[in-house]
């Protein structure tokens, strides 16, 4: 799997992401600067990592979404190429029009940094094939603006088309408002694009991949992607 | 203050506000603080943004069109926000 991690000023999770991609897929990703206009030839997966691009000025992800490299990312997605956005990367993908909706301030107005439980809603996507549908995974989360909001038609379409990939749930996998940590609509933690080739999620699966530092539930996402491309190639 | 414009221009203001029905926790927090200060008659608060922009050119229609473009492409997220462009002259 040939992956490229996009780097914007103010991003701070790009090295965690690169480390995980190398660890799980075995291939070192390319780091692509925001002012570049092209992705490395043969890129399979583009990853937009987390952080605070442009200091979250204007709106989270708003300025990064208009950076030169994003035209190349949009073109990659337009060709059916896979794009993964995590945390600020999810915000950037929403702002860039690759995913619908927007991430608003957490309902409780606080920055939240803790592990959460996610239910994997389907396993038949390149991003989630490393899991079973309905499986509950524990992954870290750290954000102030992760409260997913979209108009009611968009939410109905996401739900109707099975485009909600991950939801915040209780440890037993049940929906519970107390475990919907940021107040997101329908406890949405991650969504897919219409064609299923773009995934954005707020939590950080890339930080739970090594047994030496905790649970490894995030590994399935990257292992699944690696398998997907091994099969394609 | 000296204008940064290299040629005659106009001043304009773009105001961005949250759409009705979009939850505004910051506005709610400010509303609560105003109420706790005892400011009379505060019923609700919605927080928005104001951009004061100097634009080159004196053609009002063109300036307005350019700023609408700016608002659509960057200043506002029209999923959750409305905007208003005023050319102040």
Q: Which pair of tokens denotes residue B2?
A: 């000296």
Give the mean pLDDT of A137-144. Answer: 97
| Annotated active-site residue in A87, A143, A145, A208 | A87
Q: Do B79 and A102 touch (CB under 8 A)?
A: yes
Give the CATH number of the domain where residue B26 resides: 3.30.1280.10
A169 pLDDT above the threshold of 60:
yes
Q: What is the pLDDT of residue A232?
A: 65
How many domains are there within chain B? 1
Task: Convert the pLDDT of each residue in A55-107 to its tens digit.
Answer: 999 999 999 999 999 999 999 999 999 999 999 999 999 999 999 999 999 98
Q: What is the pLDDT of residue B1?
A: 55
For residue B2, tell me if it sits in a domain. no
Sorted by sequence, the CB contacts under 8 Å of residue B36 that are 6+ apart come out as none
Q: Which domain holds residue B45?
A: 9-87
Give the mean pLDDT of A4-31. Answer: 97
Query: Distance (Å, rounded) from C-alpha A11 to C-alpha A51?
Result: 4
Give the mean pLDDT of A21-50. Answer: 97
Contact of A101 with A189, CB cutoff 8 Å: no
> Does the CB of A149 have a partner CB in chain B at under 8 Å?
yes
For residue B46, tell me if it sits in a domain. yes
- A191 to chain B: which residues are within 8 Å by CB? none
> Does the CB of A58 have a partner CB in chain B at under 8 Å?
yes
Q: What is the pLDDT of residue A65?
A: 96
Mean residue pLDDT across chain B: 92
Q: What is the ipTM of this complex?
A: 0.82
B12 pLDDT above the threshold of 60:
yes
Residue of A70, A94, A104, A112 to mutate, interface with B, max B Cβ within 10 Å: A104
> Does the CB of A74 have a partner CB in chain B at under 8 Å?
no
For residue B53, tell me if it sits in a domain. yes
| Annotated active-site residue in A34, A76, A143, A204 | A204
For residue B3, tell me if it sits in a domain. no
Task: Convert the pLDDT of each residue in B32-67 to its tens digit.
Answer: 999 999 999 999 999 999 999 999 989 999 999 999
For residue B68, tell me if it sits in a domain. yes
Contact of B87 with B63, CB cutoff 8 Å: yes
End-to-end CA distance of chain A: 9
Task: Convert the pLDDT of each residue in A170-198 to its tens digit.
Answer: 999 999 999 999 999 999 999 999 999 99
Q: What is the pLDDT of residue B2?
A: 63
- Closest alpha carbon within chain A to B26: A109
């Amino acid at each position: 799997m040939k992956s490229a991690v996009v780097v914007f000023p103010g991003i701070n999770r790009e090295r965690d992401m690169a480390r995980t991609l190398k660890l799980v897929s075995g291939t070192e990703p390319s780091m692509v600067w925001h002012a570049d206009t092209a992705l490395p030839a043969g890129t399979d997966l583009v990853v937009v990592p987390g952080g605070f691009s442009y200091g979250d000025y204007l709106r989270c992800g708003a300025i990064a979404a208009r950076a030169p490299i994003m035209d190349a990312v949009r073109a990659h997605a337009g060709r059916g190429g896979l794009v993964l956005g995590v945390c600020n990367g999810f915000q950037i993908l929403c702002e860039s029009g690759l995913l619908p909706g927007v991430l608003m301030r957490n309902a409780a107005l606080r920055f939240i940094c803790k592990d959460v439980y996610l239910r994997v809603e389907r396993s038949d996507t390149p991003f989630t094939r490393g899991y079973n549908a309905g499986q509950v995974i524990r992954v870290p989360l750290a954000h102030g603006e992760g409260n997913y909001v979209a108009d009611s038609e968009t939410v109905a379409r996401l739900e109707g088309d099975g485009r909600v990939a991950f939801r915040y749930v209780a440890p037993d996998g049940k929906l519970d408002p107390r475990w919907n940590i940021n107040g997101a609509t329908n406890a949405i933690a991650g969504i897919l694009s219409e064609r299923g080739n773009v995934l954005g999620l707020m939590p950080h699966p890339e930080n739970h991949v090594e047994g030496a530092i905790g649970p490894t539930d995030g590994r399935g996402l990257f292992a699944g992607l690696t398998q997907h491309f091994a099969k394609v190639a | 203050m000296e204008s940064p414009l290299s040629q005659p221009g106009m001043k304009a203001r773009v105001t961005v506000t949250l759409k009705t029905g979009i939850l505004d926790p910051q506005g709610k927090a400010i509303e609560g603080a105003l109420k706790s200060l005892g400011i009379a008659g505060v019923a609700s608060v919605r927080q928005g943004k104001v951009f004061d922009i100097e634009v080159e050119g004196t053609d009002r229609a063109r300036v307005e069109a350019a700023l609408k473009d700016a608002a659509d492409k960057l200043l506002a997220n029209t999923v959750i926000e409305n905007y208003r462009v005023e050319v102040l002259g």
